[in-house]
Amino acid sequence: MRGLGNQETNMASSHKESFPRGFEGKGILSAWALAFVLHGQYEVLMDTDAMRYEDGSILLQKPGILSRWRVPQDCEELTILWFIFQPYPHWRNMLVWPEVSPGYASVRLDNMAPCDKITGALLQAHELLNSHWENRVGLAMNALESALLWCQTIVKAQCQPLDPRVEAAVAYIMHHVESPIRMDDIVTATCLSRSRLNQLFTRETGMPVMAFLERERMRRAVNLLTLTSRSIKEIAQIVGYDDPCHFSRRFSLLHGKSPQAYRLGPEPGIP
């Protein structure tokens, strides 16, 4: 598929692809497209600007739109899950997301409660579409519909903005998740005391700051374990752990099995 060139489709198709630093793609689709960023960074190119999307972002593109995108130079590799589909008529309201530019809308999974369900449903839809089951398309469309319904709940929640100081903390975490972040670093970025930041952050997101950071790291680790062949040591470094043994201990504590065991028989998403 290599970057969504001009594509024709029946009901649905799905592809998982990886692209190197600097790769550029473009094309026009006759169907809807959903792009789920599994790992790395994805830039949609506009006339005079570029919109960047990172791990956990979902981008929805309307039919007939010229798509131009690239992997930025500061991203080693992008892994993305594509869905090209013709929606059922009753999906109309599920596809109404806030537009970020004409023809494009997006939602970010930012550790909200339905995120695991969305990730699991998209992975299931991808697996079904690429299986040999007789009813694979219908089953996959059911899974995709489930993901879109859960996305609606996030879209509605994200219409209610977070406190700007919590947004600053979340932004800092997302941009530095691959580094060994300390609580003091996040405190400095928000100009709040440690106790006040934790209190405010917990109220707005439902979890303390460092729990949010660890959950984001583990969400990315799950995607890398499930969808790539990278070593446990590489994955530990990618998600911000200098010590792979410490990463394995934390992963085992949260998931009830080691990273290697999870890779051999994972269930989609984070429990």
Give the chain's mean pLDDT: 85
Residue 167 has pLDDT above 90, yes or no: no
**How far is the C-alpha of 127 from the C-alpha of 54, rounded, in Å?**
23
Q: Which sign does the torsion angle of CA 170, 178, 124, 6 carry?
A: positive
Residue 247 has pLDDT above 50, yes or no: yes
Count CB atoms within 10 A of the CB of residue 197: 22
pLDDT for 32 beyond 80: yes
**What was the pLDDT predicted at 124?**
92
Averaged pLDDT for residues 123-147:
91
Q: What is the pLDDT of residue 266?
A: 40
Model's pTM, two decimal places? Answer: 0.60
Residue 267 above 70 pLDDT? no
Q: Give residue-wise pLDDT tens across range 71-94.
A: 999 898 999 999 999 999 889 888
26-35, 151-160, 184-193, range with the lowest pLDDT: 151-160
pLDDT at 146: 93
* Cross-strand partners of 24: 70
Structure tokens at 84: 């090209």
As a three-state string, the secondary structure of 160-224 is: CCCCHHHHHHHHHHHHHCCCCCCHHHHHHHHCCCHHHHHHHHHHHHCCCHHHHHHHHHHHHHHHH
Check residue 213 and give left, alpha or beta (phi > 0: left; psi -120 to 50: alpha).
Answer: alpha
Q: Which has the higher per-residue pLDDT, 207 or 105?
A: 105
pLDDT at residue 111, as a whole number: 58
* pLDDT at residue 141 in the model: 93
Question: Is a pLDDT exceeding 70 seen at residue 10?
Answer: no
235 versus 266: the higher-pLDDT residue is 235
Q: What are the angstrom distances between the C-alpha of 241 and each of 23, 80, 213, 244?
A: 28, 23, 12, 6
